């Protein structure tokens, strides 16, 4: 007999806790091996992501019920208690008695009678006891940290960069489920026609607000539809779609995408060019180059050529391009709704280290831009050290580049009026319930 959903969730969460493994990769692997149906697969995802997302809050609830420090518990016992408390607090459709019964059964199987008795006692105690109040936490940053489950060091950075109110709104938004958004392949269909086809296939969807190419999936297995299999659309967050708008490639141009995998923005660029011209897509990892090639094939975009290459070596590259995109590797603090494990895996030191890599890639990629050509720099983080500070340092060291103020003409007006500052755009997750994103365009002076 295969594992139950909660046993599978425990396995995934323990691996993440011990090895800092990536939740989405582990989840995909676990779903395949466990052979879960759609409903159980959704429950597994909800328990895993929810438990990671709310870790500090769950520990806050647990600590009064445990005599010793939580860190002294066996990892699997602590994780089992967390995922059980998560279900009891946040999942209405799961009966508490079922949660307790299965947790005790798992504890018996994995440990011994004493541990199963402890698990039973803690969970039944939680049912009976009044939950501790966040209001009793005196320090305001610690209170926000516990209430919204974000590390204190990260909150201090965000508060210094965006203020208390924006930081709180960002933390609350990060706890909500990420929407499923798709981009219409406009070389094959229109948004209206795609929405009609999806309706016929039983998918509930609506036009997205940010871009004319986006749709939001409200209900239904969109990745199993003929529309998806025929390449009429691809998955992409709405904020991410604005990168191609900022770069604004035209049919017949030569375009370089320097950190391209898995290919969402690469394929968008080719669609914007109506599949005319050339797009060279590079990525550091050879195995990820295959993902770009697969996406290009499914969307019937023949102008894309994908290769494995470290973008920092572009200083030796002889070709010049009309448009160059640096969608730089980053800490990912703008996508915590989709990848909540990032906030526990990254440290303040990582921000400094990755900012150095970003600067090196940007400098190397800039050597490939034609005179009067455009260089777009984007990240899926909201940290100013990786964004504004990286760009300001680049301009200081490269006087032949300047911020392209005409970016405001290529982006949706309501976004520009709200968030564009001196040619640099930062979308916060709470703005449009999309990913947090940074985008700016630089022009090489002629």
Asked whether residue 227 is marked as a ligand-binding residue, the answer is: no
Helix spans in 381-435 (H): 388-397, 407-410, 413-419, 429-432
Asked whether residue 263 is marked as a ligand-binding residue, the answer is: yes
HSE, CB side, 13 Å, CA atoms: give it for residue 71.
Answer: 1
Alpha carbons 410 and 407: distance in angstroms, whole number: 5
Asked whether residue 327 is marked as a ligand-binding residue, the answer is: yes
Alpha carbons 408 and 243: distance in angstroms, whole number: 12
> Helices (H), strands (E): how many in the chain?
21, 13
Kind and range of the H or E run holding 357: helix 348-366
Alpha carbons 206 and 216: distance in angstroms, whole number: 5
Asked whether residue 259 is marked as a ligand-binding residue, the answer is: yes
CB < 8 Å & 24+ apart, contacts of 418-424: 424/387, 424/388, 424/391
Q: What is the dihedral of CA 121, 125, 128, 130, to 10 degrees?
A: -170
Asked whether residue 37 is marked as a ligand-binding residue, the answer is: no
Kind and range of the H or E run holding 13: helix 5-19
Question: Apex CA 157: angle with CA 151 and CA 159, to 5°?
Answer: 100
Alpha carbons 271 and 290: distance in angstroms, whole number: 19
Residue 201's closest CA among 177, 235, 225, 178? 225
Q: Which of 171, 330, 368, 380 is catalytic?
A: 380
Asked whether residue 283 is marked as a ligand-binding residue, the answer is: yes
Asked whether residue 139 is marked as a ligand-binding residue, the answer is: no
Question: What are φ and ψ of residue 204, in 5° steps?
Answer: -90, 120
Alpha carbons 21 and 1: distance in angstroms, whole number: 26
Asked whether residue 136 is marked as a ligand-binding residue, the answer is: no
End-to-end CA distance of the chain: 68
330 is annotated as an active-site residue:
no
Asked whether residue 42 is marked as a ligand-binding residue, the answer is: no
Residues with catalytic function: 380
Annotated binding site for S-adenosyl-L-methionine: 259-265, 283, 310, 327
The annotated binding site is made up of 259-265, 283, 310, 327
């Amino acid at each position: 007999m295969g594992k139950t959903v909660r046993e599978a969730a425990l396995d995934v969460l323990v691996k993440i806790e011990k090895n800092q493994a990536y939740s989405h990769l582990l989840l995909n692997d676990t779903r395949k091996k466990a052979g879960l149906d759609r409903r159980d697969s959704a429950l597994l995802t909800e328990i895993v992501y929810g438990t990671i997302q709310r870790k500090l809050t769950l520990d806050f609830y647990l600590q009064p019920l445990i005599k010793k420090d939580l860190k002294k518990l066996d990892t699997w016992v602590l994780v089992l208690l967390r995922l059980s408390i998560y279900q009891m607090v946040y999942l209405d459709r799961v009966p508490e008695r079922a949660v307790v019964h299965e947790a005790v059964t798992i504890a018996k199987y994995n440990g011994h009678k004493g541990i199963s008795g402890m698990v039973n006692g803690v969970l039944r105690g939680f049912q009976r006891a009044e939950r501790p109040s966040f209001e009793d936490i005196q320090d305001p940053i610690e209170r926000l940290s516990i209430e919204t489950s974000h590390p204190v060091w990260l909150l201090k950075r965000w508060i210094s960069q965006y203020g208390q109110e924006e930081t709180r709104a960002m933390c609350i938004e990060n706890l909500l489920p990420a929407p499923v958004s798709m981009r219409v392949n406009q070389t094959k269909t229109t948004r209206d026609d795609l929405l009609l086809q999806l309706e016929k296939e039983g998918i509930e969807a609506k036009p997205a607000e940010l871009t004319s190419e986006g749709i939001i999936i409200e209900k239904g297995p969109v990745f199993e539809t003929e529309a998806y299999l025929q390449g009429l659309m691809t998955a992409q967050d709405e904020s991410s779609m604005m990168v191609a708008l900022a770069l604004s490639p035209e049919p017949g141009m030569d375009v370089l995408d320097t950190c391209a995998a898995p290919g969402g923005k690469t394929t968008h660029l080719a669609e914007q060019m109506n599949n005319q011209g050339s797009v060279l897509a590079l990525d550091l990892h050879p195995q990820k180059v295959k993902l770009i090639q697969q996406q290009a094939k499914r969307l019937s975009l023949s102008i894309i050529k994908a290769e494995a290459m470290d973008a920092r070596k572009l200083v030796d590259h002889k070709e010049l391009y009309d448009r160059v995109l640096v969608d730089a590797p980053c800490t990912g603090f703008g996508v915590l709704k989709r990848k909540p494990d990032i906030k526990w895996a990254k440290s303040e030191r990582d921000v400094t280290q990755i900012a150095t890599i970003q600067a090196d890639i940007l400098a190397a990629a800039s050597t490939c831009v034609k005179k009067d050509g455009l260089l777009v720099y984007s990240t899926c983080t909201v940290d100013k050290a990786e964004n504004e500070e990286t760009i300001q340092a680049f301009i200081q060291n490269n006087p032949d580049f300047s911020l392209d103020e005409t970016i405001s003409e290529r982006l949706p007006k309501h976004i520009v009026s709200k968030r564009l500052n001196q040619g640099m755009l930062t979308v916060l997750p709470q703005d449009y319930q999309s990913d947090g994103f940074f985008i700016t365009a630089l022009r090489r002076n002629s």
